[in-house]
Amino acid sequence: MKRKVLLIFTIILCFMLIPGFVSAKAPKEKKSKPKSNRYVINTFTVAKRSDSSITIKWNVVKKGTGYHVYKSTKRDGKFEKVAYINGNKNVTYTDGNLPENKGYFYKVRVNRSKVYSPVLYVKTMVTAFSDRVTSISAETVKSQTELSWKPVKYATEYRIYRKYSLKDKFTKIKTVKGNVFSCKDYAKSGRHVFYAVRAKNDNSKTFSRYSPLKKFNTITRVYISCGHGRGLDGVWDPGCTYNGYTEAGLMLPITKQMVAAMRRSGVYVYTDADSNNNKNMLACVAEANRKDISAYLSIHCDWHKAPSGTMPLYISKSGMNLAKSLDKYVIKRNKRKGTPFVSRGLTRRPDLYDLWGTNAPACLFETGSIKNDLPILRNSNRYGRSLAEGMCEYLGIKYIN
């Protein structure tokens, strides 16, 4: 009996020693790793390009066994497979024998992966310009200079340069697109100017040589103001008066005759006389300063108690030279026509806005006394032309009567 109990106890003990028979801690469950992007190409760039080849490059995919390269001429077009690169270490592809200045779209995927890289657009370069702008045409259009030239192959833009002396350095004044072959320039009044143009290709960052120099004489611009008229308060200002005549009424036809003669002589004239003296003094000076003129003239006459004769007023040395030329031809032309006329002399007047407010050489010309010189002032044709002749002499321009 004891043997039998001992046997049963031994059997139970053996079962207890068997692993797993006694309750133990359950084994930890292995967490599944999320799928990685190890087969995705996320870095795709241009490694090198020339006028006949394109080399593209992408990131290494460690688990990859090869790469498929695709190409298209349109982003939304059909992509054709152009290469398979075995292995994962070679991550470049060179597409050769391509025409210059031609663009292509590329994408790559890892072997056995359905995920493509981002689409990459690349354009072949342009060879250095073998040509340049061969000549420039220039003409005056209103108060500006208009330049034009023939197109250069592969140009994506043109750069226009200007200088006023051969010793100066060029200043770039404008850039226009490659399909534009002209531009306008507001150069300094009455000056010799030199222009040059060169082409640029944005794709290759190359420039053509400069064009041959184009020398041009810019049109001379002046401002001629008729005295009084529209006042600063917007009310009509007649100026001085005598026996039914007004300063504004007598000066307007003189101003118009001078403007017409200046324009016949090839000068570009800004004036309030075209609109019958409807601008005040501040407006005339402001416009003159915006237009980069060579000379400013304001035409007036003196009151009825003033003595006979002209009285040009100035503030600067150049203004004095302008006043001398104007006075000289007014006296000369009237003397030639048998009408004695005298000058009361040039006078410096730093207090007059017409003179100190302008950037250009300026003169306020008192044409005479509204009473004592009335017959001369009424001859607007003669007076206007004599002023024009004096202005042309000052500007160095041939006067055309």
pLDDT band (50, 70, 90) for residue 38: low
What's the structural domain count of the chain?
3
Q: 285 lies in a domain? A: yes
Token pair, residue 261, equals: 């003669």
In the predicted structure, residue 127 carries a pLDDT above the cut 80: no
Residues 302-325 have a mean pLDDT of 97
Q: 273 lies in a domain? A: yes
What CATH number does residue 201 fall under? 2.60.40.10
Q: Are residues 97 and 157 in the same domain?
A: no
Query: Beta-carbon neighbour count of residue 269 at 10 Å?
Result: 24
Rg over alpha carbons for the chain, rounded to the nearest Å, is 44
Q: 95 lies in a domain? A: yes
Least trusted range by pLDDT, from 13-17, 109-113, 124-128: 13-17
Q: What are φ and ψ of residue 328, in 5° steps?
A: -60, -45
Q: Are residues 108 and 232 in the same domain?
A: no
Q: 229 lies in a domain? A: yes
Of 60, 91, 123, the one marking the end of a domain is 123
Nearest to 326 by CA among 391, 381, 400, 268: 391
Q: Are residues 168 and 226 in the same domain?
A: no
What CATH number does residue 316 fall under? 3.40.630.40
Q: Are residues 243 and 282 in the same domain?
A: yes
Nearest to 88 by CA among 118, 108, 115, 111: 111
Of 217, 233, 250, the one marking the end of a domain is 217
In the predicted structure, residue 176 carries a pLDDT above the cut 50: yes
Q: Are residues 188 and 325 in the same domain?
A: no
In the predicted structure, residue 24 carries a pLDDT above the cut 50: no
pLDDT the model gives residue 18: 52
In the predicted structure, residue 15 carries a pLDDT above the cut 60: no
Q: What dihedral angle (degrees, nearest 10) is formed by the CA atoms of 306, 311, 316, 319?
A: 140
Token pair, residue 161, equals: 């340069």
pLDDT the model gives residue 22: 45
pLDDT the model gives residue 189: 97
Name every residue whose Cβ is closer than 8 Å to that of residue 327 and which is 6 or more positions away in sequence: 310, 312, 343, 346, 365, 390
Count how many Cα atoms sit within 13 Å of the Cα of residue 128 in the half-sphere of its side chain: 1
Q: Could you tell me which residue, 174 or 128, shows the higher pLDDT?
A: 174
- Sequence length of the chain is 401
Q: 166 lies in a domain? A: yes
Name every residue whose Cβ is closer than 8 Å to that of residue 29 and which is 6 or more positions away in sequence: none
Least trusted range by pLDDT, from 182-186, 201-205, 396-400: 201-205
Residues 176-197 have a mean pLDDT of 96
Q: 316 lies in a domain? A: yes
Q: Are residues 158 and 188 in the same domain?
A: yes
Q: Are residues 102 and 61 in the same domain?
A: yes
What's the DSSP call for residue 310? B
Beta bridge partners of 366: 300, 311
Q: Can you tell me which residue has the tokens 């259009």?
A: 141
**Domain that residue 66 falls in:** 44-123
Q: Are residues 297 and 320 in the same domain?
A: yes
C-alpha distances (whole Å) from 80 to each of 72, 113, 342, 353 are 6, 17, 94, 77
Of 71, 91, 123, the one marking the end of a domain is 123
Q: 15 lies in a domain? A: no
Q: What are φ and ψ of residue 58, in 5° steps?
A: -140, 175
Q: Are residues 260 and 207 in the same domain?
A: no
Residues 22-42 have a mean pLDDT of 58
Q: Are residues 168 and 303 in the same domain?
A: no
pLDDT band (50, 70, 90) for residue 25: low
Q: Are residues 298 and 385 in the same domain?
A: yes
d(C-alpha 399, C-alpha 401), whole Å: 6
Q: Report the mean per-residue pLDDT for the chain.
A: 91
In the predicted structure, residue 17 carries a pLDDT above the cut 70: no
Nearest to 299 by CA among 332, 339, 337, 257: 257
Q: 1 lies in a domain? A: no
Is 310:275 a contact under the CB 8 Å cutoff? no
